[in-house]
Chains A and B, each alone.
Chain A
């Protein structure tokens, strides 16, 4: 397991109305994985299994060389976890929470905690119930980050944050990765956040991993080809076409295995290539999900 922070092999979990199926995941040490899916796709279930809070029905999970959920307590000594549904004790101050967490983690970094207080503009003496939603999220992140965890697991950490708060949080996550041994597993519906900081991206939909690769591969291999077809000219046959939009004369092809040579193939088939558009991660995610749901083989 050297060099691998998180490994899922054939993990499944069945609920009455939802099933997580055959999840295989591998997260190398020192990388940031953006875990993207719609509501109810299975992101939180996967993360709870990763944290040992839910027992998988089958398959194996290893986190930082610990078998989960059996060794969850040992694994969590090196994990910082923040989830969207996590709340701190409303009647207590942030300072109390910092003292509490620092008393449990010998590696608690007091100077870094103070730095985070300043950069997140938080006051330690304030009670949690007096904080805004954004401040509460930052407080939870502070408590997770100052533990200096080897693995940071974040379940929708930027949900509900304003643009400035989101930027501050993302900047801090990037700073965390200055330490090459630190790994981040980061779930979000916000593909813009994921695109900004992740180097590995995994899409999940309806309980299944539908695609997983490094970010550059995703962005490089997905393209929209805007063609102009003369009358009586057939659409060129290209590999990896997952969607054909536009009109008969002006088709727009979405491809997930783009190669520059495809332009020449189109031209040879008599089509004029008007544009080759790069796609955002959000466009890639939506096209990917739709094509899987419609059963298009990509």
Chain B
């Protein structure tokens, strides 16, 4: 694996996404500031959560579909004219997209935790639920990346992004009904129950499985352009 060329390609994607990424981070942080300033107003909270979810899911879909876009915009032949193998290209796309998305994801995750900890309107017991849900968003985004990279199809990528978005609601409702989660959500202290740790491990395991499958499928491909 030529790490130099992989790094160059990741930096290229970083540069291409920089404006969108900064705009998303600024909007997300302003939204969190708005939630913090709303003094627990439930309408502001709901609107804020909708904006944050839209930013994360939307940006995830945009960043992760860059491989499909590269094919659609016919820039793939340019990239593949460089001294890069297809596996190196796949690595740069998956790692690069994840790194770029992770910056936004991490900023918003830390911002949410900080908002919960700093403001008196939210109980700190919400934090495990917020972390589980944000890792769920990360998982959904990785699924989009894996599908985008392996199918190179805009239709499939959009379809999976939509399913991922809908599944987020279903997962959220299901998790909140779990006794271990619901009982600790209103607690003043952060409580990591066994259920929340198992859920997080399952999410990270699924992420690893999806990315591993994407690499495996790519390594067996014979035609690239």
A92 pairs with B8, CB closer than 8 A? no
Chain B, interface size: which category? 20 to 34
For chain B residues 1-60, which have a beta carbon within 8 Å of chain A?
A: 2, 5, 8, 12, 15-16
A48 pairs with B225, CB closer than 8 A? yes
Q: Is A144 an interface residue (CB 8 A)?
A: yes
B74 pairs with A85, CB closer than 8 A? yes
A89 pairs with B84, CB closer than 8 A? no
A16 smallest CB distance to B (angstroms):
13
Query: A53-B224, A53-B225, A91-B16 given as contacts; is B83 within 8 A of A74 (CB)?
Result: yes
User: How many residues of chain A are within 8 Å of chain B by beta carbon?
Assistant: 30
Q: Is A123 an interface residue (CB 8 A)?
A: no
Contact of B223 among A54, A77, A79 (CB under 8 A): A54
Q: Is the interface of B mostly helix, strand, loop or mixed?
A: loop
Query: A53-B223, A55-B223, A91-B16 given as contacts; is B83 within 8 A of A76 (CB)?
Result: yes
| Complex CA distance for A26 and B5, rounded to whole angstroms | 30
Q: Which residue of A lies closest to B74 (CB)?
A: A87
| Complex CA distance for A79 and B84, rounded to whole angstroms | 12
Q: Which residue of A lies closest to B82 (CB)?
A: A104
B81 pairs with A73, CB closer than 8 A? no
For chain A residues 128-153, which have a beta carbon within 8 Å of chain B?
A: 140, 144
Residues of B within 8 A of A73 (CB): 2, 5, 83-85, 88
Contact of A86 among B74, B83, B85 (CB under 8 A): B74
| Complex CA distance for A81 and B12, rounded to whole angstroms | 19
Query: A76-B83, A92-B16, A144-B81 given as contacts; is B74 within 8 A of A54 (CB)?
Result: no
Q: Which chain A residues have a beta carbon within 8 Å of chain B's beta carbons?
A: 48, 51, 53-55, 72-74, 76-77, 79-83, 85-92, 96, 100-101, 103-104, 140, 144
B99 smallest CB distance to A (angstroms):
18
B73 smallest CB distance to A (angstroms):
6
Interchain Cβ contacts under 8 Å between A and B, 8 examples: A55-B223, A73-B5, A82-B81, A83-B77, A85-B74, A87-B77, A100-B12, A104-B83
A54 pairs with B225, CB closer than 8 A? yes
B147 smallest CB distance to A (angstroms):
22
Query: A48-B225, A54-B224, A55-B223 given as contacts; is B80 within 8 A of A87 (CB)?
Result: no
Q: Which residue of B lies closest to A77 (CB)?
A: B83
| Complex CA distance for A88 and B224, rounded to whole angstroms | 18
Query: A54-B223, A79-B81, A89-B75 given as contacts; is B8 within 8 A of A103 (CB)?
Result: yes
Residues of B within 8 A of A91 (CB): 16
A-B contact count (CB 8 A): 64
Q: Is B78 an interface residue (CB 8 A)?
A: yes
| Complex CA distance for A88 and B77, rounded to whole angstroms | 9
Residues of B within 8 A of A85 (CB): 74, 77
The proximity string for B residues 199-225 relative to A, scoring 1 for CB distances below 8 Å and 0 otherwise, is: 000000000000000000000001111
B7 smallest CB distance to A (angstroms):
10
| Complex CA distance for A82 and B82, rounded to whole angstroms | 11
| Complex CA distance for A53 and B77, rounded to whole angstroms | 9
Residues of B within 8 A of A83 (CB): 77
Query: A73-B2, A103-B8 given as contacts; is B78 within 8 A of A88 (CB)?
Result: yes
For chain B residues 76-100, which have a beta carbon within 8 Å of chain A?
A: 77-78, 80-85, 88
| Complex CA distance for A74 and B82, rounded to whole angstroms | 10
| Complex CA distance for A83 and B79, rounded to whole angstroms | 12
A42 smallest CB distance to B (angstroms):
15
A90 pairs with B73, CB closer than 8 A? yes
| Complex CA distance for A229 and B176, rounded to whole angstroms | 98
A41 smallest CB distance to B (angstroms):
18
Known pairs A54-B224, A81-B77 / 16 extra A-B pairs, C-beta < 8 Å: A48-B225, A53-B77, A53-B80, A73-B2, A73-B88, A79-B81, A83-B77, A86-B75, A88-B75, A88-B78, A89-B16, A89-B75, A103-B8, A104-B5, A104-B8, A144-B81
Residues of A within 8 A of B16 (CB): 89, 91-92
Residues of B within 8 A of A76 (CB): 81-84
Residues of B within 8 A of A54 (CB): 222-225
Residues of A within 8 A of B74 (CB): 85-87
Residues of A within 8 A of B8 (CB): 100, 103-104
A86 pairs with B77, CB closer than 8 A? yes
Residues of B within 8 A of A72 (CB): 85
A51 smallest CB distance to B (angstroms):
7
B107 smallest CB distance to A (angstroms):
24
| Complex CA distance for A104 and B83, rounded to whole angstroms | 8
| Complex CA distance for A103 and B9, rounded to whole angstroms | 11
| Complex CA distance for A90 and B74, rounded to whole angstroms | 10
| Complex CA distance for A100 and B84, rounded to whole angstroms | 14
